[in-house]
């Protein structure tokens, strides 16, 4: 059995849920724990919390939030944002997170992936990759897509898999916020070239976009935020639709 996963992403700032378009212009979409609970009760397969706070209190605030989520939510969830050490991960997992997602810290110091995989297991290490298509190449970007690196998507994805990542969360910065669909060509190539799960992110606008990313994009899971937060797409309806498209989902 191969079941595709639907993953709402909650962007968190100072304990509240926010979501921007192309990562700028943030809008408030509610209390993260309340939202998480609703999603877990209405068919979400997993949740991702992405913390974009930049305060000194962030680590403590995030750990407290993770604990509140874990106490009320009975599906797996991933926490990302500003994680750069074994200690950061340890605190989040101890508070009840199932997985962590790392991005910039992995690009800056790739050994972190090996360290986390060997200490906590590959299954809890998600490496998030943000990339933009420039002059025929997918270029990896940092800091919410603002800073280009010298790395290219496919080389970096292979490296993180070899270093022990359990999953890759690929966000196409070109698609993110457009509601024009996922970057299925790049996703399909990632899925073909790697033997770990690929989560598609960036571009969800319609239910067909989800079907397309699972069939054409060969994604194992699809992540979206605003279409879920603003109820443009309701997960139970989406899953029924996917089933009619012969895509295996948990209902």
Partner 1 sequence: MNIVIINYGAGNIQSIKFAIERLGYSAKLSNDPEEIRTADKVIFPGVGEASSAMQKLKESKLDQLIPTLTQPVLGICLGMQLMCNRSEEGLTKGLGIFDVDVVRFRESVKVPQIQWNTITKLKTALFKDISEGEFIYMVHSYYAPVTDQTIAMSTYGEPYSAAIGNANFYGTQFHPEKSSQVGAQILSNFLEL
29 vs 224, which CB is nearer to partner 1? 224
Instruction: Say if residues 198 and 191 touch (Cβ distance below 8 Å).
Output: yes
Q: Which of 79, 102, 124, 160 binds partner 1 (CB under 8 A)?
A: 124
Instruction: Say if residues 177 and 193 touch (Cβ distance below 8 Å).
Output: no
Q: Which stretch binds partner 1 (CB under 8 A): 7-15, 51-59, 88-96, 138-146?
A: 88-96
Specify the pairing of strand 77-80 against strand 99-102: parallel
Instruction: Say if residues 235 and 42 touch (Cβ distance below 8 Å).
Output: yes
Residues known to be catalytic: 11, 130
Could you tell me how many residues of this chain bind partner 1 (CB under 8 A)? 32
Binding of partner 1 by 118 (CB under 8 A)? yes
Binding of partner 1 by 67 (CB under 8 A)? yes
- Least separation in angstroms between residue 200's CB and partner 1 is 14
Q: Which stretch binds partner 1 (CB under 8 A): 21-29, 67-75, 79-87, 127-135?
A: 67-75
Q: Which of 21, 71, 192, 208 binds partner 1 (CB under 8 A)?
A: 71
Q: Which residues contact 99 (CB under 8 A, 6 or more apart)?
A: 76, 77, 78, 79, 123, 124, 125, 126, 166, 167
Q: Which residues from 1-40 bind partner 1, rule CB under 8 A? A: 1-3, 5, 40
14 vs 67, which CB is nearer to partner 1? 67
Q: How far apart are CA 165 and CA 107, in angstroms?
A: 13
Q: Specify the DSSP element, H or E, that contains 224.
A: strand 221-224
Give whole-number Cα distances, 210 to 113, 205, 215, in Å. 29, 9, 9
- Least separation in angstroms between residue 97's CB and partner 1 is 9
Q: Which of 14, 26, 59, 76 binds partner 1 (CB under 8 A)?
A: 76
Instruction: Say if residues 15 and 60 touch (Cβ distance below 8 Å).
Output: no
Spell out, one character per residue from 192 to 211, where the chain touches partner 1: x when CB under 8 A holds, - when not.
Answer: ---xxx--------------
Specify the pairing of strand 147-152 against strand 167-172: unpaired
In this structure, the number of other CB atoms found within 10 A of the CB of residue 192 comes to: 10
Binding of partner 1 by 61 (CB under 8 A)? no
Q: Which of 75, 86, 142, 247 binds partner 1 (CB under 8 A)?
A: 75
Q: How many helices (H) and strands (E) does the chain have?
A: 10, 12
Q: Which two tokens stand for residue 5?
A: 């996963």
Question: Under the rule (CB under 8 A), what is the footprint of partner 1?
Answer: 1-3, 5, 40, 45, 67, 70-72, 74-76, 93-96, 98, 118-124, 166-167, 195-197, 220, 250
């Amino acid at each position: 059995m191969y079941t595709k996963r639907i993953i709402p992403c909650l962007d968190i700032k100072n304990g509240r849920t926010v979501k921007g378009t192309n990562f700028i212009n943030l809008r408030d979409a509610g209390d993260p724990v309340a939202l998480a609970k609703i999603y877990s009760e209405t068919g979400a397969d997993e949740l991702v919390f992405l913390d974009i706070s930049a305060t000194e209190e962030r680590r403590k605030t995030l750990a407290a939030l993770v604990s509140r989520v874990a106490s009320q939510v009975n599906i797996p969830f991933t926490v990302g944002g500003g994680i750069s050490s074994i200690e950061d991960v340890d605190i989040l997992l101890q508070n009840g997170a199932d997985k962590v997602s790392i991005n910039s810290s992995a690009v800056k110091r790739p050994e972190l992936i090996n360290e986390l995989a060997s200490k906590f297991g590959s299954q809890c290490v998600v490496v998030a990759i943000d990339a933009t298509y420039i002059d025929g190449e997918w270029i990896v970007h940092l800091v919410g897509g603002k800073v280009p690196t010298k790395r290219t998507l496919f080389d970096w994805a292979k490296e993180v898999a070899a270093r022990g990542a359990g999953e890759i969360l690929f966000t196409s910065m070109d698609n993110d916020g457009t509601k024009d669909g996922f970057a299925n060509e790049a996703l399909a190539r990632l899925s073909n070239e790697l033997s770990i799960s690929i989560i598609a992110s960036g571009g969800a606008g319609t239910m067909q976009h989800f079907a397309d990313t699972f069939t054409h994009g060969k994604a194992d899971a699809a992540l979206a935020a605003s279409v879920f937060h603003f109820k443009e797409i309701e997960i139970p309806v989406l899953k029924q639709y996917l089933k009619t498209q012969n895509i295996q989902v948990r209902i």
